[in-house]
């Protein structure tokens, strides 16, 4: 990946601060060599539903991939479903993150929209983002060479 070409991602949100939104950012930032731009903004445009929809359209339209933490989906399924429909209209792939620390099933509506579902593990999240956004395949495991002395 070219260093001046970061992956543009959108993290689904409900215009309300949510721990999982910040966890996604924290996990992605833990990999220093991964360059990205988060097109999502939690600043609510206020006003009508039309203003909210237009703001989401702008944010999602700038992205290459949409990331949906399941707990954010569960907090407001209607609004996140709207974001998923926008992602589909823009031709974007969706990556879902299972509930943090819990082995739970995904809502069927979310599962139907997702290209991939991963656990909360930075390496898997970043590899999936690269694969879905840019079709870059990363080996599952790194080979570390060393010599015994």
pTM (predicted TM-score): 0.87
CA–CA separation, 135 vs 2, rounded Å?
14
Decide if 39 contacts 62 (C-beta within 8 A).
yes
Among all chains, which residue has been given the structure tokens 């999502």?
40
**Nearest in space to 52 (alpha carbons), one of 72, 78, 77, 79:** 79
Q: Tens digits of per-residue pLDDT, 91-109? A: 999 999 988 666 667 888 8
CA–CA separation, 94 vs 116, rounded Å?
7
Mean pLDDT (the chain) is 90
In terms of phi and psi (left: phi > 0; alpha: psi -120 to 50; beta: otherwise), the region of 65 is: beta
Q: Tens digits of per-residue pLDDT, 34-84? A: 999 999 999 988 878 899 999 999 999 999 999 999 999 999 999 999 999
């Amino acid at each position: 990946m070219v260093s001046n070409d970061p992956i543009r991602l959108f993290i689904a949100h409900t215009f309300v601060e949510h721990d999982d939104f910040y966890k996604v950012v924290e996990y992605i930032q833990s990999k220093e060599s991964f360059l990205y731009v988060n097109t999502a903004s939690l600043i609510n445009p206020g006003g009508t539903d039309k203003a909210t929809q237009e703001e989401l359209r702008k944010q999602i339209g700038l992205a290459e991939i949409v990331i949906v933490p399941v707990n954010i989906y569960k907090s407001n399924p209607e609004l996140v479903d709207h974001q998923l429909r926008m992602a589909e209209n823009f031709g974007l792939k969706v990556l879902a993150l299972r509930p943090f620390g819990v082995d739970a099933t995904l809502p069927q509506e979310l599962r139907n929209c997702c290209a991939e579902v991963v656990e909360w593990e930075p390496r898997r999240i970043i590899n999936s983002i690269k694969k879905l956004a840019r079709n870059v395949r990363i080996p599952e495991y790194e080979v570390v060479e060393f010599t015994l002395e």
